[in-house]
Structure 1
Amino acid sequence: MKRLDALDAARFFAFCGMVLVNFRIAAQVAPGNGWATTFVDALEGRAAALFVILAGVGVGLSSVPALVLLRRAAFLFVLGLINMNVFDADILHFYALYFVVGAAFLTSTTRGLWAGALVIVGLAIPANLVLDYDRGWDWATLTYTDLWTMPGFLRNTLFNGWHPVLPWAAFLLIGMAIGRSELNTICIQHRLIMWGFGAAVLAAFPQILVSGPELATYLGTESIPPGPFYILAGSGTSCMAIGLLLKLWPRIEKTGLAPALTAPGRMSLTLYMAHILIGMGILEAAGLLNGSLSALQVVTYALGFCAVSSVFAVIWARKFKRGPLEALMRRVTEPRRA
């Protein structure tokens, strides 16, 4: 696998976006009109989409066997279930199921990957027409009432959770298709930027053209509920971010900032768990997860945590090749070499 440092940096930026969104959720910040609220709102559903697409890009660039990918899925699923006892909006157990879907498409052509993504999005549309998307949710507290029952867990995971397989698994297949491109060429980078921008703009129109509030919501670009144009918008912004970072990376390297971006990007699994167990843990210990923080305070704390994460990752990378959880996952899921 040819490693592209810009992709590690993109993963760190996706992580930072998820920290901002998750801290806002955990801190129960009241809606507002300030720039801090608008900034976090713009990242909701986009940072996580970039995170999943980058996972697909990594699979597309590599030659990982299906069995190893399924073992990674099992590892992440167990880790995600543990994490859900602390933070309901965990993405890892969803991530694991995206990998199961990805394993089924490892030998597909690039066209097959795009077709698979369209089928997944297509299956989500009738599911939303037939099933009750609100079932299980208490939207006032953002809690899922029957999450730990089998019907509730399956419904949440496949249909109406924070990042349900239908249609979020499409992001992984899109990433796998992108990963098979010549990402180190200017031509592909320009295509990612232009096509990504076009997709993001196009996705904004259907919501404007309909009058019914429920239909407008589903045809919008918000991540809840995740309609087809949310997938288009999330894919578009992700492609733009990846293309811009790939194109600008030579200049970024000259600034000397590259290690501060790539090191945390290479241990995003460890840092993801840390932002919940340590970052949110500090807020909880201080009694601040009760709606008392302003949006600006949450943004300040989240960005501070990201900066500390970057420093930690750079120091860790001087002695170790992988992050703690990354090394553990590799040890558990990949066959040992003789």
Structure 2
Amino acid sequence: MTHRTSAVAAAKTSGGRRISSLDLLRGVAILGTFGTNVFLFAHPGGPMGFFQDFTGAATTFTERAEIGLRLLSNGKFLALLTILFGVGLELQYQSSRRRGVPWPGRYPLRAGILFLEGFAHYLLVFEGDVLMAYGLTSLLVAYLVGRSDRVVRNVIVVVGGVYATLLLAVTALLVATPDISGEPPPVDPSATASWPAQVSVRLNDFLLLRAEIILIVPSAVVLFLLGSRLRRAGVFDDTAEGRRLRFRLLILGFAVGLPLNVLTAFSGPDWLLVDRYLLPPLVALGLLALVTHLALRMRDTPGIVRSGLMSVGRTALSCYVLQNLLAGILCYGWGFGLAERFADARPWWIVGLWGFVGLVNVAFAAVWLRYFERGPLELLMHRLYTPRRRTD
């Protein structure tokens, strides 16, 4: 089957209908991503303080427990969210083909809006924003998604291969180099005492704080394209081919990726790049297969948990920003200052913080969707992206 024929077949399969398992997956990915970010907010020195402390091997039970908790989410749900962005881009490509609209058409404008929303989120809310990287990636991938399967496969192999080789080379260098870092500098709670001061730091140290984009974009190009092709391959379909594909992803994610990820998580900070950027995408593929399989098996009306997650998934962009905004208000000194107040209760109180913010997110999404079809940021993006019809 040629790439054009397969794309048309995938478009007919979707038929413009909403894929409910995608909403469930997005909800899981959004709340799971906060499971990583919450540790940055909950540090008394904020994200910068967290990375200053990220040196040396864990020696106490509490330190090992925190590593174990971070292992549950670190990089995995971000990779899942990235794959789902690629699936969403593929669905938009299919929609354009069904309607006979040239591709990418106005999509670069959508990517630009996402980038600007990410910049505002970075500047005003959180140093660890990923929306800017997604905006850049979607602009690149928009011109690749419609190419032949051979071209896409070559891009995945070349970009992914170079990316993995470089990260493994840097990791080998870190492992081989003696650790001379010494004790980390003392935590400075004043770093989060003033919101205007935080904004100023994010603006003045933009290049330093946004350096992670260099690591995210190449990986995201691969995962976007992988999400696109998994959609075409029928990973979300209740067919024999879909079940076989999901089974292979389950094996790859949980029998290969997860054990290796556990090993690197407890191997010290020298393995950070492998632990966060190389192995989590494998686990994310297993998560995608598992959640999709469960969603296809559950034919009944969604219960409170599933409907809550699906509501978050339908308002994913808004909930992503909301959970980071809530965490800043609760944790930072200019808000309730819980990070400094409960510094001695790490990591246990962080679990409660994650649960509380997650419940607020679910409640917000469920109530909002009673009155609106899209989340607030989704509505804003839709209005900016959709051309206004002339009324003569």
- Deviations along 1:31-79, one digit per CA (max 9) or x if unpaired, are 7367675243221100101111111112222325424332222112112
Aligned-partner SS, 1:66 = coil
1:217 equivalent to 2:266? Answer no
Larger radius of gyration between Structure 1 and Structure 2? 2
* Structure 2 match to 1:185: 238
Task: Decide whether aligned partners of structure 1 residues 235 and 121 sit closer, same or farther in structure 2, where only a CA change above 3 A counts.
Answer: farther
* Structure 2 match to 1:157: 213
Q: Does structure 2 conserve the Cα–Cα contact (< 8 Å) formed by 1:261 and 1:310? A: yes
* Structure 2 match to 1:42: 72
Task: Decide whether aligned partners of structure 1 residues 203 and 312 sit closer, same or farther in structure 2, where only a CA change above 3 A counts.
Answer: closer
Mapped partners of 2:131, 2:337: distance in 1:
26
Compute the displacement of 1:193 (Å).
Answer: 2.8
* Structure 2 match to 1:243: 292
Compute the displacement of 1:185 (Å).
Answer: 2.0
* Structure 2 match to 1:197: 250
- Deviations along 1:128-166, one digit per CA (max 9) or x if unpaired, are 4788999xxx996899x999568657854224xxxx212
* Structure 2 match to 1:259: 307
Mapped partners of 1:181, 1:148: distance in 2:
45
Q: Does structure 2 conserve the Cα–Cα contact (< 8 Å) formed by 1:260 and 1:311? A: yes
Mapped partners of 1:110, 1:157: distance in 2:
27
Aligned-partner SS, 1:81 = helix
Aligned-partner SS, 2:328 = helix
Task: Decide whether aligned partners of structure 1 residues 267 and 96 sit closer, same or farther in structure 2, where only a CA change above 3 A counts.
Answer: same
After the TM superposition, which of the residue ranges 107-116 and 324-333 deviates more from structure 2?
107-116
Q: Does structure 2 conserve the Cα–Cα contact (< 8 Å) formed by 1:53 and 1:238? A: no
TM-score norm. by structure 1 comes to: 0.80
After the TM superposition, which of the residue ranges 43-52 and 307-316 deviates more from structure 2?
307-316
Mapped partners of 1:69, 1:312: distance in 2:
29
Mapped partners of 2:304, 2:208: distance in 1:
49
Task: Decide whether aligned partners of structure 1 residues 199 and 22 sit closer, same or farther in structure 2, where only a CA change above 3 A counts.
Answer: same
- Deviations along 1:174-218, one digit per CA (max 9) or x if unpaired, are 1111122332323244234311122223346889999xx89x938
Mapped partners of 2:350, 2:273: distance in 1:
30
1:57 equivalent to 2:111? Answer no
Q: Does structure 2 conserve the Cα–Cα contact (< 8 Å) formed by 1:7 and 1:54? A: yes
1:169 equivalent to 2:221? Answer yes
Mapped partners of 2:36, 2:184: distance in 1:
17
Mapped partners of 1:206, 1:294: distance in 2:
26
TM-score norm. by structure 2 comes to: 0.70
Aligned-partner SS, 2:337 = coil
Which among 309, 317, 326 is matched to residue 278 of structure 1?
326
Q: Does structure 1 conserve the Cα–Cα contact (< 8 Å) formed by 2:32 and 2:73? A: yes
Aligned-partner SS, 1:104 = coil
Aligned residue pairs total 321
RMSD over aligned CA atoms reads: 3.7
Q: Which amino acid aligns with 2:131?
A: L
